[in-house]
């Protein structure tokens, strides 16, 4: 499967709680009414987050985010059909003005790679890392460096390996750019996204050690812009699941 991943910021004048209530109970109902080609729709409601690196002053350009949308499709044909359908164009899409800051969103088409499967049991604690590629390096170089950095850091940290219950790495697919304009006029792209699930809240301290090391190594190697990268702790809310 492929997925559209969008990091959404609430519109001015709306509290975080008001935003989450609206997207789950109002916007979610609109999506449920006519799924079209969407096989699974997950809202990741942001609980906490951190952006950039120490002493960074550019965070306002990329942050904050209130929810991370994941829309899963069987293939590109289903995705294009969904975003070109009149229901999406006239109903689902226009509803965004009721909750989203359309001037500042991040969206991209991603290919998921499941590297660690925690099974069917639900896991309460989830973190999502967004990594911004250095524009001077190509995608293949970035993906290879990211893989190697993760493997090196994890191998040196058995506590992290033991705490991590599930891990999905999502890689940016440029061919999705023709549909991501649906999310607004100025779309930011994060070429690498890691979703990690943990069983206990205390495991998030171990995650933080991993995340800091990852940002530092990718920055030192010149393949990622840590000052423009960020992570979020989220609560998963499944709006639609036709995969079962």
Are 64 and 14 in contact, with CB atoms under 8 Å apart? no
Beta bridge partners of 240: 41
| Confidence tier at 181 by pLDDT (50, 70, 90) | confident
Range in 44-58, 152-166, 190-204 with the lowest mean pLDDT = 44-58
> What does the DSSP 8-state code read for residue 11?
P
| Confidence tier at 119 by pLDDT (50, 70, 90) | low
Are 120 and 177 in contact, with CB atoms under 8 Å apart? no
> How confident is the model over 22-69, as pLDDT tens digits?
999 999 999 999 999 999 999 999 999 888 765 555 544 555 799 999
The pLDDT assigned to 167 comes to: 95
Q: What is the mean pLDDT of residues 101-119?
A: 82
pLDDT at residue 208 is higher than 80: yes
Tell me what percent of the residues of the chain surpass a pLDDT of 90: 78
Beta bridge partners of 44: 68, 236
pTM: 0.92
pLDDT at residue 238 is higher than 80: yes
Chain-centre distance for alpha carbon 20: 16
Q: What is the mean pLDDT of the chain?
A: 91
pLDDT at residue 120 is higher than 70: no
Tokens of 154: 């994890």
- Calculate the alpha carbon distances from 49 to 76, 90, 115, 153, 184 in Å: 31, 33, 23, 21, 23
CA dihedral 128, 109, 243, 100 (to 10 degrees): 70
What CATH number does the domain containing 101 carry?
3.30.70.100
Q: What is the mean pLDDT of residues 180-202?
A: 89
pLDDT at residue 140 is higher than 60: yes
The pLDDT assigned to 104 comes to: 77
Beta carbons within 8 Å of 234's beta carbon, 6+ residues apart? 44, 45, 46, 47, 67, 68, 126, 127, 128
The pLDDT assigned to 36 comes to: 97
Go through the chain and tell me how many residues it has: 244
Question: Whole domain around residue 28: which residue ranges?
Answer: 2-241
SS3 state of residue 142: helix
| Total domains present in the chain | 1
Q: E strands within 104-190? A: 105-116, 125-131, 164-172, 187-188
């Amino acid at each position: 499967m492929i997925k559209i991943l969008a990091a959404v910021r609430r519109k001015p004048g709306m509290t975080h709680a008001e935003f989450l209530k609206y997207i789950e109970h109002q916007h979610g109902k609109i999506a449920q009414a006519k799924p079209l080609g969407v096989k699974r729709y997950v809202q990741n409601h942001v609980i906490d987050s951190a952006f950039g690196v120490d002493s960074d002053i550019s965070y306002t350009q990329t942050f904050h985010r209130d929810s991370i949308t994941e829309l899963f499709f069987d293939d590109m044909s289903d995705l294009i059909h969904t975003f070109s359908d009149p229901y999406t164009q006239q109903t689902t899409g226009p509803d965004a003005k009721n909750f989203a800051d359309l001037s500042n969103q991040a969206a991209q088409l991603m290919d998921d790679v499941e590297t660690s499967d925690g099974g069917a049991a639900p896991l309460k604690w989830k973190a999502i890392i967004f990594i911004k590629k250095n524009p001077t390096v190509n995608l293949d170089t970035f993906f290879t460096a990211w893989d190697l950095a993760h493997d090196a850091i994890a191998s040196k940290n058995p506590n992290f390996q033991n705490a991590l219950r599930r891990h999905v790495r999502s890689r940016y697919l440029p061919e999705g750019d023709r549909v991501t304009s649906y999310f607004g006029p100025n779309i930011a792209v994060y070429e690498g996204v890691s979703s990690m699930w943990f069983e206990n809240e205390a495991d998030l301290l171990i995650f933080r050690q991993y995340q800091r090391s990852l940002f530092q190594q990718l920055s030192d190697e010149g393949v990622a812009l840590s000052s423009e990268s960020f992570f979020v702790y989220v609560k998963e809310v499944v709006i639609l699941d036709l995969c079962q």
